Amino acid sequence: MAVEIRRGTDRYLTRGEGYFTRHSFAFGGHYDPENVRFGRLVCHDDHRLKAGAGFPDHEHRDVEIVTWVLSGSLEHSDSEGHTATVRPGEVQVLSAGSGVTHAEVAGPEGQVRFVQAWLTPEEPGTTPAYDVRPVSLEPGALTEVVTLGDATLLVARLDAGQTVTLPDAPLQHVFVAGGALTRSSLAEPLADGDAFRITDEPGHEVTAAVPTQLMVWTFR
């Protein structure tokens, strides 16, 4: 049983032309053998791209890629012929399977901020698949956004003072995607970019100090 606090200021930082990314796990040149995954979660990146900037065509294989846009818009295209503009309130899922090439570029209206998670697939070598769909969040509560086998992403938008109870799940990754949480039995206050990694703990309550968005991955 454990609750580990990961501060956003301690995350690995990558900068490039028109973008910067904070990585939750070892990535690229940021090698840390003690921090390569949490359950099926092998990447949890917080990206910011300037208008028109992004990541040109690059290939993925045998990974589930889930994208949640926090502000702005993100333009997607891939080798399977899918194109979309993803905005806040929509979830994008790209199952790379046997292999797919895609590109991600910030929309023209200004900076986009998005969180992208990569999960190992339950079955390798499947046919690539793509989906983007709107999500209606229940005010002040955790709402299921997407489920991929034993992994589920839930999101909550909380007003100041609102409390939610985290799920009872063997593994939970709880990310503050905006705002802040008050001090609790789990930790000192958590701010934008901070995260909990919870293992075999019962559902804890967390309270928003200001308007806050939480992203919660559970693994059963």
Q: Is residue 108 domain-shared with residue 173, that is, in the same domain?
A: no
Q: Is residue 111 domain-shared with residue 185, that is, in the same domain?
A: no
32 vs 29: CA distance, rounded Å: 9
> Amino acid identity of 33?
P
Final residue of a domain: which of 99, 134, 169?
A: 134
Q: Is residue 120 domain-shared with residue 23, that is, in the same domain?
A: yes
Q: 187 and 196 in contact (C-beta within 8 Å)?
A: yes
pLDDT attached to residue 31? 86
Segments forming the whole domain that contains residue 103: 12-134
Q: Is 209 left (phi over 0), alpha (psi -120 to 50) or beta?
A: alpha
Quote the percentage of the chain above a pLDDT of 70. 100
Closest CA to 118 of 92, 144, 155, 83: 92
pLDDT attached to residue 28? 81
Final residue of a domain: which of 106, 134, 162?
A: 134
Q: Return the structure tokens found at 182.
A: 């008050």
Final residue of a domain: which of 83, 113, 134?
A: 134
Tens-digit pLDDT profile for residues 174-190: 999 999 999 987 888 99
Phi, psi for 174 (deg, rounded to 5): -115, 115
Tens-digit pLDDT profile for residues 122-175: 999 999 999 999 999 999 999 999 999 999 999 999 999 999 999 999 999 999
pLDDT attached to residue 187? 80
Q: Is residue 149 domain-shared with residue 199, that is, in the same domain?
A: yes
pLDDT attached to residue 91? 98
Confidence of residue 66 (pLDDT cuts 50, 70, 90): very high
**Mean pLDDT, to the nearest integer, of 76-102?**
98
pLDDT attached to residue 69? 98
Domain total for the chain? Answer: 2
Here the CATH number for the domain that contains residue 93 is 2.60.120.10
**Mean pLDDT, to the nearest integer, of 190-219?**
96
110 vs 128: CA distance, rounded Å: 30
Q: Is residue 75 domain-shared with residue 105, that is, in the same domain?
A: yes
Mean pLDDT across the chain, nearest whole number? Answer: 96
pLDDT attached to residue 186? 81
Q: Is residue 7 part of a domain?
A: no
